[in-house]
Amino acid sequence: MTGATAFGLLLAHLVGDYLIQSHWMASEKTKHWWPAWAHALTYGLPYLLVTRSPIALAAIVITHALIDHYRLARHVVWAKNLVAPKAYRKPWAECSATGYPGEAPAWLTVWLMIIADNAIHLAINAAAVMWL
């Protein structure tokens, strides 16, 4: 992957996830499928400048809808914390909001979950553009 392609992927992600996403999409996408699909479809628009592969574009849009609707980043965060020493492993019931336990500052856990979400999207999108 060239530097220009990597920059294009990052820019497309930032535009699609932050500039194009409306407040309605952001607040309702985990509750209802319609806002999740509306967000995923508009999220995919900047990727038209990055890839000409309809399969890569479909993978980007579909995985984005699934990851955001189910807020899958919190599951990834919780699972990665299971490799910590036992004292740091918390049950899902204590971590279901962000993947982090409740004793951690709320502002920090939300941002760490958002960062994990971005990393997951970018990794999937890069793989889709490179291999599909």
Per-residue pLDDT of the chain (132 residues; tens, 9 = 90+): 788 799 999 999 999 999 999 999 999 999 999 999 999 999 999 999 999 999 999 999 999 999 999 999 999 999 999 999 998 899 999 999 999 998 889 999 999 999 999 999 999 999 999 999
Q: Report residue 117 as tokens.
A: 């979400």
DSSP single-letter state for residue 105: -
What confidence score (pLDDT) does residue 40 get? Answer: 98
| pLDDT attached to residue 69 | 98
Contact call for residues 54 and 48 (beta carbons, < 8 A): no
Q: Residue 61: its pLDDT value, please?
A: 98
Q: Which residues contact 59 (CB under 8 A, 6 or more apart)?
A: 124, 128, 132
Q: At residue 25, what is the residue type?
A: M
What pLDDT, on a 0 to 100 scale, did the predictor assign at position 1?
A: 79
Task: Tell me which residue has tokens 């958002």.
Answer: 114
Number of domains in the chain: 1
Per DSSP, 48 falls in state: G
Q: pLDDT value at position 62? A: 98
State residue 4's pLDDT score: 78
The range of the structural domain enclosing residue 118 comes to: 3-131
- Please give the Cα distance from 59 to 80 (Å, whole number): 24
- Which amino acid does the sequence have at 11? L
